[in-house]
A and B are shown apart, each in its own frame.
Chain A
């Protein structure tokens, strides 16, 4: 491990951190523009051309707002909540393969920060830890609406994690590896997993919506019942962290969906173009970001199209529909694999 290797990884990590933050920042603007489009209005257009400076203005506003803390709150946990949510949201990006590798001066530079051989499980662990930030924040606020929101969020996330894990298991069985990089490489060209595992994809994307607390599963912050949900007592940039973490989660989920099911940085006819290795890597990364943008749009599209579920409907969907379907998918995958091996 040379010093250059460490330096390279540091630079890569910082670049990915910056890119996720900037993308999350501009998703807020795009979300409002998309909402405007769906509701036949213009959306924000005062700050800069097409409202391009709106995220900056929003951020500045959040920073300069009064820092308010309820005096019955648990001080340490109150601050820990949003920080943890933000940290966990950013952790997943370490194992996502953002592109192939660049060969500079005979050395291979991978565009993935850490190619660990249990990448899928790592992502899953981070998702399962993600609930702590919300629960701690909701409890520390010492407000019953915040607590209700936090409890709802936690039970929702636990319920949908299971189905999500089962959907991934079918994928892991098929590809025979837990490394995200290998899973993406196996989808070379147009052999995308979505064609082999369409059920797993549908289950996964529904669960991803629920894990991000996005509409139609945004019950933790259901205004009509819970005021503001788990972040009722938060103001200023602490509130900003919660809202911002949601957009980062959305970005990372889109990246996971594209990497697991839509080939990641692979695209059709990539071998027929006759491009050099480095050019192919750069185009692959761009293609990956196009896919991520598309799924980000799907997230917004569904939010502004579908109404919110009722809470019992949400639980019924998770436990009685998605989980059995996911297990069935695992069994069918196993049977098909066995038949293929014996024929």
Chain B
């Protein structure tokens, strides 16, 4: 009962902040609303009994990626209030392509049956012990390949960041 109320509060917070990311005039407000949205999603993970996922979500997204976003936005426009003037043709094209994407999403969702809802307290998959067992026993190879992918991305970032590479 209590978690039902929590679900609605968190959902409203998530949707509101996601909308505000788009509506806000200042880029820095958008970044902060996106951070708020990530926190709301982390709240949903906790309601689904996946505490490990929730905390990792906060560490990775709110703690690392969004801080870097904030960093970039702060350094790029210090005091300049730049609102982008777009040509009318681009606005028109954006509306049409957005609507088509919306239609596509509806079509995709309509062809699926609604998934059977399980009681999150019974699944226990989100707890760190179970998740670790699944990752390192059943899905070891995909897990290792993902980590190699991450390593490659890291090396690539360093290569791009270095000026006098040759």
Q: Which residues of A does B touch, CB under 8 Å? A: 74, 77, 116-118, 121-122, 124-125, 127-129, 131-132, 135-136, 139, 142, 144, 147, 150-151, 154-155, 158, 161, 178
CB of B63 closer than 8 Å to a CB of A = yes
Q: Which residues from B are CB-within-8-Å of A158?
A: 64, 67-68
- Report the minimal beta-carbon distance from B73 to chain A, rounded to whole angstroms: 9
Known: A118-B52, A144-B78. A129 touches B58 (CB 8 A): yes
- Report the minimal beta-carbon distance from B161 to chain A, rounded to whole angstroms: 12
* CB atoms of A132 and B67 under 8 A apart: yes
Q: Which residues from B are CB-within-8-Å of A77?
A: 28, 32
Known: A125-B58, A129-B62. A117 touches B67 (CB 8 A): no
Q: Which residues from A are CB-within-8-Å of B59?
A: 121, 124-125, 128
DSSP class of B's interface residues: helix, strand, loop or mixed? Answer: helix
Q: Which residues from B are CB-within-8-Å of A132?
A: 35, 67, 70
CB of B127 closer than 8 Å to a CB of A = yes
Partner of B64, one of A128, A136, A144: A128
Q: What is the bound-complex CA distance between A99 and B74, given in angstroms?
A: 43
Q: Which residues from B are CB-within-8-Å of A118?
A: 51-52, 55, 128
Q: List 22 A-B contacts (CB under 8 A).
A: A74-B26, A77-B28, A77-B32, A116-B51, A117-B127, A117-B128, A121-B56, A122-B55, A125-B55, A125-B58, A125-B59, A125-B63, A128-B58, A128-B63, A131-B67, A132-B35, A132-B67, A135-B71, A142-B79, A147-B74, A150-B74, A151-B71
Nearest B-chain residue to A122, judged by Cβ: B55
Q: Which residues from B are CB-within-8-Å of A128?
A: 58-59, 62-64, 67
Q: What is the bound-complex CA distance between A151 and B64, given in angstroms?
A: 14
User: Which of A125, A127, A136: most chain B Cβ within 10 A?
Assistant: A125
Q: Which residues from A are CB-within-8-Å of B68?
A: 158
- Report the minimal beta-carbon distance from B67 to chain A, rounded to whole angstroms: 6
Q: Which residues from A are CB-within-8-Å of B67?
A: 128, 131-132, 135, 154, 158
* CB atoms of B74 and A151 under 8 A apart: yes
Q: Which residues from B are CB-within-8-Å of A144?
A: 78
CB of B75 closer than 8 Å to a CB of A = yes
Q: Which residues from B are CB-within-8-Å of A161?
A: 63
Nearest A-chain residue to B53, judged by Cβ: A118
Q: Which residues of B does A touch, CB under 8 Å? A: 26, 28, 32, 35, 51-52, 55-56, 58-59, 62-64, 67-68, 70-71, 74-75, 78-79, 127-128
Known: A118-B52, A128-B62. A135 touches B70 (CB 8 A): yes
* CB atoms of B64 and A178 under 8 A apart: no
Nearest A-chain residue to B68, judged by Cβ: A158
Q: What is the bound-complex CA distance between A139 and B27, given in angstroms?
A: 12
* CB atoms of A121 and B52 under 8 A apart: yes
* CB atoms of B56 and A139 under 8 A apart: no
Nearest A-chain residue to B129, judged by Cβ: A117
Q: What is the bound-complex CA distance between A122 and B42, given in angstroms?
A: 12
